[in-house]
Amino acid sequence: MAPDDPQADALRALNDDLERRVALRTEELVRMNQELRSSEARYREVVNAQNEFIVRWRPDGTRTFVNDAYCRFLGASASELLGMRFFPMLHSEDRPNFAERLAEVSAENPTFQFEGRIQRRDGTFAWLQWENHAFFDERGQVVEYQSVGRDVSQLKEASDLLRQKEAHLAHLSRLATMGEMVAGIVHEISQPLHAAKTFAEAARRNLESSRPDSVPRAIECTGEISQAVNRTVRIVRRLREFTRAQPFELEVLAVNQLVRESLELVSHECRRLEIELRSQFAPSLPPISGDRTQLDQLLVNLLKNACEAMENTPPGERVLDIRTSRENGQVEVVIRDSGTGLSPNQLNRLFEPFYTTKPEGMGMGLPISKSIADAHDIRMTIENNRHGSGLSVVLRIPAIGTDSDGKSL
């Protein structure tokens, strides 16, 4: 036997050590892979156990992952959904909005919300609410999205029903308001009708006379008759518009005109209570967007409340001050009375349903007014006057092209 070679022994030792290290490393990798598979399994169990829908998809809408909740909702298996684009399932009316949200995504703004309708296999549409997050590559390009969603169809139905009930309640409130003001409104209509009758009699007498100026005088009378009839028609039209039930409809409106028309409906209250009316309308105000009938109701409620607040004020001190202005991109309407004002506790409870400071009040006028204001993104504040007695109601209305803070959209 050849004597031992020290170099060969060293190489064998190194080889044995290397094999031991490889074996240990292999064992460690096997263990790590097992843990990774177990972790992935647990992750999938957690994801699939969620009630929310979880979907991952590429920028072209192709699904790369779906959880069980999403599959159950659509009544399809994961194999049927993966690799298919979901864009065609979106309701045609919601696609432009979805495209706009996608266009706004960036590395600085990677998340966005979307609420829209998706078509199921039976052809029906369901409302889904999604929270979406984009993932980017090193070049800043979107490579994938992850969306977490839920079915909000029942919430939408409940919300729609609530809006219908609120609209019905607002309509009943307008009818009740008109019932309270009917005596004064009859007087408003009787005035121009009485004037028309008087001028008609004068025209008849002139035509029956033989004076040379009888015809010109009769023509003048017919002009007065026409004005009186037009005023009556205008009052009746305003009453019909105020009391009719109609769906919420946005249109471009001029605030000064709205305030003037609302003042016409409560003008008899001002005369009955001998209220001095002061008004200052800023010229060239920007237009606003809103439902004319609801905004009329809001203003009439506030003006009527201001008049009623001054019933116990001495006659010579009853002043109703209405001003419009432009403030920071918004249109501001201020209605100020010279009544007795309210305590801090009363001010804090003004918008509570059925809370009222009037002996015979229902306590629904201001809550309905607040609901109308909120629906139009109008900020409404009520506070005691800083100088003198009474209250000030301030409406800050977004002009077209601005938000509730007066910022450009």
Give the sign of the dihedral formed by CA 67, CA 73, CA 78, CA 84.
negative
Please name the amino acid found at residue 363. G
Q: What is the mean pLDDT of residues 318-322?
A: 92
Q: What is the mean pLDDT of residues 182-196?
A: 66
Task: State the average pLDDT for the chain.
Answer: 80
Q: What is the pLDDT of residue 325?
A: 94
What residue segments make up the domains of the chain, in order of their start? 53-151, 153-247, 249-409
Q: What is the mean pLDDT of residues 368-394?
A: 87
**Tens of pLDDT along 124-149?**
889 999 999 999 988 889 999 999 98
Strand partners, 53: 149
Among 352, 400, 398, residue whose Cα is nearest residue 377: 398
Please name the amino acid found at residue 30. V
Q: Report the alpha-carbon distance of residue 28 to residue 161 in Å, rounded.
A: 61
Phi, psi of 326 (to 5 degrees): -110, 120
Give Cβ neighbours of residue 378 (< 8 Å, ≥ 6 apart). Answer: 298, 372, 395, 396, 397, 398, 404
Q: What is the pLDDT of residue 143?
A: 92
Q: What is the pLDDT of residue 364?
A: 62
pLDDT higher than 80, residue 373:
yes
More confident: 373 or 352: 373
Q: How confident is the model at residue 347 (pLDDT cuts 50, 70, 90)?
A: confident
Domain topology for 53-151:
Beta-Lactamase (3.30.450)
Q: What is the pLDDT of residue 315?
A: 86
Q: What is the pLDDT of residue 244?
A: 64
Q: What is the pLDDT of residue 281?
A: 94
pLDDT higher than 90, residue 238:
no
Q: Report the alpha-carbon distance of residue 354 to residue 350 in Å, rounded.
A: 9
Return the ∠ at Cα 71 (arms to 66 and 72), rounded to 5°. Answer: 145
Q: What is the mean pLDDT of residues 296-322?
A: 88
Q: What is the pLDDT of residue 284?
A: 87
Q: What is the mean pLDDT of residues 267-285?
A: 88
β-pairing verdict for 125-136 and 111-119: antiparallel
Counts for the chain of helices (H) and strands (E), in that order: 10, 12
Q: What is the mean pLDDT of residues 210-223?
A: 81
In terms of C-beta distances under 8 Å and separation of at least 24 residues, what long-range contacts does 89-97 make, across chains too?
Answer: 89/118, 89/119, 90/116, 90/117, 90/118, 90/119, 91/116, 91/117, 91/118, 91/119, 91/125, 93/117
Q: How confident is the model at residue 41 (pLDDT cuts 50, 70, 90)?
A: low
Q: What is the pLDDT of residue 169?
A: 64
pLDDT higher than 90, residue 256:
yes
Helix (H/G/I), strand (E/B), else coil: 110: coil
CATH number attached to the domain at 153-247: 1.10.287
Q: What is the pLDDT of residue 49?
A: 53
Q: Report the alpha-carbon distance of residue 310 to residue 368 in Å, rounded.
A: 22
Q: How far apart are the first and last CA of the chain?
A: 96
Identical fold at 153-247 and 249-409? no
Please name the amino acid found at residue 98. F
Q: Report the alpha-carbon distance of residue 45 to residue 36 in Å, rounded.
A: 14
Q: How confident is the model at residue 255 (pLDDT cuts 50, 70, 90)?
A: very high
**Tens of pLDDT along 75-97?**
888 889 999 999 989 999 999 99
Phi-psi region of 67 (alpha: psi -120 to 50; beta: other; left: phi over 0): beta
pLDDT higher than 70, residue 175:
no
Q: What is the pLDDT of residue 285?
A: 92
Neighbours of 341 (CB within 10 A): 17
In contact, 379 and 395? CB cutoff 8 Å: yes
Say whether domain 249-409 belongs to CATH 3.30.565.10. Answer: yes
Return the ∠ at Cα 194 (arms to 192 and 198), rounded to 5°. Answer: 115
pLDDT higher than 70, residue 1:
no
Q: What is the pLDDT of residue 242?
A: 62
Helix, strand, coil in percent for the chain, rounding step 5: 50, 20, 30
Neighbours of 327 (CB within 10 A): 11
In contact, 58 and 73? CB cutoff 8 Å: no
Q: Is residue 220 exposed (0-12), middle (13-18) or buried (19+ Cβ within 10 Å)? A: middle
Query: Residue 24 has which token pair?
Result: 């240990």
Phi, psi of 403 (to 5 degrees): -100, -170
Q: How confident is the model at residue 273 (pLDDT cuts 50, 70, 90)?
A: confident
Helix (H/G/I), strand (E/B), else coil: 200: helix
Q: How confident is the model at residue 322 (pLDDT cuts 50, 70, 90)?
A: very high
More confident: 39 or 217: 217
**Tens of pLDDT along 49-65?**
567 888 999 999 999 99
Q: What is the pLDDT of residue 45?
A: 54
pLDDT higher than 70, residue 327:
yes
